[in-house]
A and B are shown apart, each in its own frame.
Chain A
Amino acid sequence: MEGTVALTELSTALPAGQLSSLGEAQVGRYLGTDWEFVYRNGDYLLRGMAVTIVLTLTSILVGFLAGFPAGALEAYGSGYSRAFVRKVGVLLRGTPILVIMLFTYFVLPIEVVLGAAEFGLRSVEFVLGPAPVTVPTDVPDAFVAATIALGFRSAAYQSQIFRGALGSIDEGQMEAARSIGMGRLEAIRHVIVPQALRRSVPGFQNEFTIVLKDTSIAFAIGLGELLKRSHDLFTQQTTAVLEVILFISLLYFVLTFGTNRTLDYVSNRFAIPGESS
């Protein structure tokens, strides 16, 4: 798997040009030696992109798993639980992502994080039965720290998306569900949440793009994602800064554009017939 390979080779030295050598000369002849340099190291950058993609997915997943219940608590909870969730949210939204990431990397003990993940997984197994996954232990610390930082920061924003969407569902929907004898939780689950999830797609789309681009901040803790690897390259051949940055900008654009188009499709696919989306 491309992602796995990339994860375990985060700190390896620059490989020699590994794309087919066919064409390198032509690239060099027509576009100059700096583009030839980018072309020769294309696979090195693409592996960085794989790390970026995997980091985005894990962060969004953590953000969803923590952010959705947090949003529901803000919308429906009461007392201490709601106050707690709100305060944590304010704290996370009020702190720069770079600061959060330096904290999770340099301060937060990795054993605590993996222990918490293990505990979470065991709790889920206790409720739902044996899970098909285990907590990975061979993941680089920087990757874990970046996932926690981006994931929980995203949870703080996703919770607001879901809170808003839940709150936007007309009260009459709840009353109608209660009037046929459904309990409050049943009504939330079968009537409110399915509508709220649809309404949160545009906000979620935004959040996905933001997290994707902010994976580049993991550069600061030395994680070999796309930006870190491009930096490795252009410090080696300093005349190629422009070319390398243009190239990774293109890669970022393809990723964000592709993601948005995919979520557009999902949004249309699950749109309620007859309602304008």
Chain B
Amino acid sequence: MTTKAELYLLALSELENSTGDIISTAIVTYDGLIMASTRSDTMHRETFAAYGAAAFKRAGETMEELTGENINVLIYESENHIVVTVRAGKHAILIVLTGKNVQMGLVLMNARNTAMKIKGI
């Protein structure tokens, strides 16, 4: 029998295969716990999830204060990396860490589609 965790992992693999230059992806809870992740470095995974969820939460609070609406997507970038975070249902968020050479529109579209898939699982 396939578990939800395996289905989540499959969705992440499809996202990585369909989009180039993705470094890491993870589905995490709003508490910062990992539901599924493609990163093999276990200690780094927890940090990735904790910081990713915290950033989304803070941005969500800001969005709520400024517009009175819920946040759906959060994008932030540094010199060499981009992080895209998408709400994926009531319990989860999808975090995608990419390199700088990625096509932003493609990442955003694929991340949104994957979030929809996750929501449906």
Do A and B truly interact? no
